[in-house]
Homo-oligomer: A and B are copies of this chain.
């Protein structure tokens, strides 16, 4: 089901996302916030340097923010965003449960972290180890590839990868998961191995030869969503202008995923600026 068109779909329920949502609502924009979980902040025991708040746990602050947004009539949904696709003058956002249409998208997904902390990751990143089947699948036409993951995001990436090769092996890295079509290895993963490029994937029990390995662990993070959209990043941070807009018109980013200090006041201000940047962008289109 495709839902009716809204002004802004926000991905992320942390301070940046919710702050943007609240300010967009104030600007009379239709917004929807989609979040998977409460992210990095929720692991903090006490935050005591935020103006106007007494000491509060990260989890409590997140919940307070979500409650506040809902009080203002903002829909906050717990779904997993699998992809964002540009379609004429808007975007189609696919989650594990629905498709949404939105004129703009705000990425407020937190700090994009390396999907998997495995020896050799940095060495072979883009040299046999890839984050995006759409971007890099073509290089592995009819070649043996591994894909690491265990859920809906894995399945989506496999459907893309199948356009290029059927020689696919799934590695769950210890998770209990089975795929209908492709062989699945459940060993714990140990290392990416190779010389100039990746040649093998090493698990706790064996070493497997592959031309390429794709990562599709848990859910797509800012880095993966951005790569697929063609959003320019520097290191692991999304590049934005002063209005928090990326190089793709209509795609904005705020909070930890754009880098800088990973702190709540910065996330709030980013969210505030993004709200105004988005509003200005939409007004420009409405002329």
Asked if A23 and B49 sit within 8 Å, CB to CB, the answer is yes
For A272, the chain B residues whose CB sits under 8 A away are 49, 261, 263, 265-266
Residue of A56, A61, A266 with most chain B CB atoms under a 10 A cut-off: A266
For A64, the chain B residues whose CB sits under 8 A away are 52
For A50, the chain B residues whose CB sits under 8 A away are 22, 52, 268
For A276, the chain B residues whose CB sits under 8 A away are 261
Taken together as a complex, chains A and B put the C-alpha atoms of A19 and B266 apart, in Å, by 12
Contact with B along A28-53 (1 / 0, CB 8 A): 00000000000000000000111111
Asked if A48 and B26 sit within 8 Å, CB to CB, the answer is yes
For A61, the chain B residues whose CB sits under 8 A away are 52
For residue A212, CB closer than 8 A to chain B, the reply is no
14 contacts between A and B (CB under 8 A): A18-B51, A19-B51, A22-B49, A26-B49, A50-B268, A51-B271, A52-B52, A52-B65, A261-B272, A261-B276, A263-B272, A265-B269, A266-B272, A268-B268
Taken together as a complex, chains A and B put the C-alpha atoms of A166 and B48 apart, in Å, by 54
Of the candidates B15, B26, B48, B266, which one forms a contact with A51 in the assembled complex, judged by CB atoms under 8 Å apart?
B15
Taken together as a complex, chains A and B put the C-alpha atoms of A65 and B49 apart, in Å, by 11
For A26, the chain B residues whose CB sits under 8 A away are 48-49
Taken together as a complex, chains A and B put the C-alpha atoms of A52 and B268 apart, in Å, by 10
For A284, the chain B residues whose CB sits under 8 A away are none
Residue of A49, A51, A68 with most chain B CB atoms under a 10 A cut-off: A51
When all copies of this chain in the complex are counted, the total is: 2
For residue A71, CB closer than 8 A to chain B, the reply is yes
Asked if A51 and B22 sit within 8 Å, CB to CB, the answer is yes
Taken together as a complex, chains A and B put the C-alpha atoms of A31 and B22 apart, in Å, by 33
Taken together as a complex, chains A and B put the C-alpha atoms of A50 and B61 apart, in Å, by 13
| A66 to B: closest C-beta gap in Å | 11
Taken together as a complex, chains A and B put the C-alpha atoms of A50 and B65 apart, in Å, by 9
For A49, the chain B residues whose CB sits under 8 A away are 22-23, 26, 272
Taken together as a complex, chains A and B put the C-alpha atoms of A72 and B54 apart, in Å, by 10
Contact with B along A254-286 (1 / 0, CB 8 A): 000000010101101101100010000000000
For A48, the chain B residues whose CB sits under 8 A away are 22, 26, 72
Q: Which residue of B lies closest to A14 (CB)?
A: B51
Taken together as a complex, chains A and B put the C-alpha atoms of A23 and B266 apart, in Å, by 13
Pick the 5 closest A-B CB pairs, nearest first: A269-B269, A265-B272, A19-B51, A265-B268, A265-B269
| A218 to B: closest C-beta gap in Å | 26
Asked if B266 and A269 sit within 8 Å, CB to CB, the answer is yes
Of the candidates B19, B56, B71, B263, which one forms a contact with A265 in the assembled complex, judged by CB atoms under 8 Å apart?
B19
| A106 to B: closest C-beta gap in Å | 14
| A102 to B: closest C-beta gap in Å | 21
